[in-house]
């Protein structure tokens, strides 16, 4: 399997507010180091092609993209010396609300919380991550059965105009939009990260050309808290094209596997012709910020089950914070996929 990666991600490592303390983010550069070490001997690594920014503009609002491109310089110009730009006021946004002109207000308006911020290198890393997703998608469009984008920062919590959950640009949505722009009639997104892909859901919630399925922790107790319930099924033309499978703390592979089967059935029912997998491996039993009980052997079986869906597949990396085991878990998915 072709794997796309870049060192530009190292330019980004923000702080986050966790338990009332400001700490280095769990989403760290070492996640990619460990994963590359596990994959380099058995897979072909490639640098991404140049980014096609026009696809970003179909996924994210122009105002949000402009904010992200200028946020760090505005933070520095305001006289701040902190190495992470972060808001402190997060309003309930109404259609009538206008984006604040101050950087402090804008950071709150365009983010969903203090779980991540913006550093000097965040925008460059986010653009590189999007380019990686695009390159993996191009490989599949050109005939590869599957390709993996080692995207960092991840993307599935980024909505059309907000960052959060360690995510700034929605790589899965970018891949799906690229597939659509290239003539794929209907695309499926399967999100297997421990946390609900709220941003991906929001972007496609009213569309019937992209079916979104997610297996995740119950949002009544877990981040992102405000989306991912079973009754969220899409709206307007997209009614019925969103499938959420929230699962309780302590879920093991038997229950998780049943949810995967349900999602696979939904993808078949929606007649999708290409698949984007938001590949989070934070359902792992030893993950420090998760509560599911999946093992490395389970991830191998997940790869096998994904291959059985039988669709050209773009994998984009999402979460996974048991750093020492992350490479083994990603490798297990790919091995299961390639040796079904």
Residue ranges with strand state E in the chain: 2-4, 15-18, 21-24, 44-46, 146-149, 187-191, 210-217, 242-247, 274-279, 313-317
Angle between helices 30-39 and 323-338 (to 10 degrees): 40
- CA–CA dist 240, 297 (Å, integer): 33
User: Which stretch of DSSP H or E encloses residue 103?
Assistant: helix 103-109
Q: What are phi and psi of 96, to 5 degrees?
A: -80, -10
* 157 is an active site residue: yes
| Set 12, 13, 156, 157: catalytic member | 157
What torsion, rounded to 10 degrees, do the Cα atoms 217, 218, 223, 228 define? 100
- CA–CA dist 232, 214 (Å, integer): 11
- CA–CA dist 270, 157 (Å, integer): 24
Helix (H/G/I), strand (E/B), else coil: 109: helix
Rg (CA), the chain: 18
DSSP readout, 127-192? HHHHHHHHHHHHHHHTT-SEEEE--SS--TT--SS-BBTTBSS-HHHHHHHHHHHTT-S-EEEEE-
Q: List residues with catalytic annotation.
A: 157
């Amino acid at each position: 399997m072709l794997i796309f990666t870049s060192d530009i991600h190292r330019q980004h490592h923000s702080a986050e507010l966790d338990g009332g303390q400001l700490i280095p983010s769990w989403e760290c550069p070492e996640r990619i180091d460990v994963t590359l070490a596990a994959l380099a001997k058995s897979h072909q690594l490639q640098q991404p092609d140049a980014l096609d920014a026009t696809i970003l503009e179909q996924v994210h609002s122009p105002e949000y993209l402009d904010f992200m491109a200028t946020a760090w310089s505005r933070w520095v110009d305001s006289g701040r010396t902190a190495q992470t730009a972060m808001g402190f006021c997060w309003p309930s946004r109404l259609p009538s609300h206008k984006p604040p002109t101050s950087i402090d207000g804008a950071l709150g308006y365009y983010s969903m919380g203090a779980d991540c911020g913006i550093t000097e290198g965040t925008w460059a890393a986010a653009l590189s991550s999007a380019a990686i997703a695009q390159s993996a998608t191009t490989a599949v469009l050109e005939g590869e059965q599957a390709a993996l984008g080692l995207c960092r920062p991840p993307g599935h919590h980024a909505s059309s105009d907000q960052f959060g959950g360690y995510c700034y640009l929605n790589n899965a949505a970018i891949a799906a939009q690229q597939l659509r722009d290239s003539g794929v009639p209907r695309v499926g997104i399967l999100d297997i990260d421990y946390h609900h892909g709220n941003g991906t859901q929001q972007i496609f919630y009213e569309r019937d050309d992209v079916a979104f399925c997610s297996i995740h922790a119950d949002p009544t107790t877990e981040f992102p808290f405000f989306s991912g319930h079973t009754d969220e099924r899409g709206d307007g033309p997209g009614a019925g094209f969103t499938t959420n499978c929230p699962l309780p703390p302590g879920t093991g592979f038997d229950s998780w596997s049943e949810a995967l089967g349900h999602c696979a059935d939904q993808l078949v029912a929606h007649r999708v012709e290409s698949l984007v997998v938001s590949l989070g491996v934070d359902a792992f039993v030893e993950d420090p910020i998760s509560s599911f009980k999946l093992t490395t052997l389970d991830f191998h079986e997940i790869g096998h089950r994904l291959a059985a869906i039988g669709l050209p597949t773009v994998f984009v990396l999402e979460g996974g914070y048991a750093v020492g085991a992350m490479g083994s878990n990603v490798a297990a998915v790919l091995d299961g996929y390639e040796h079904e």
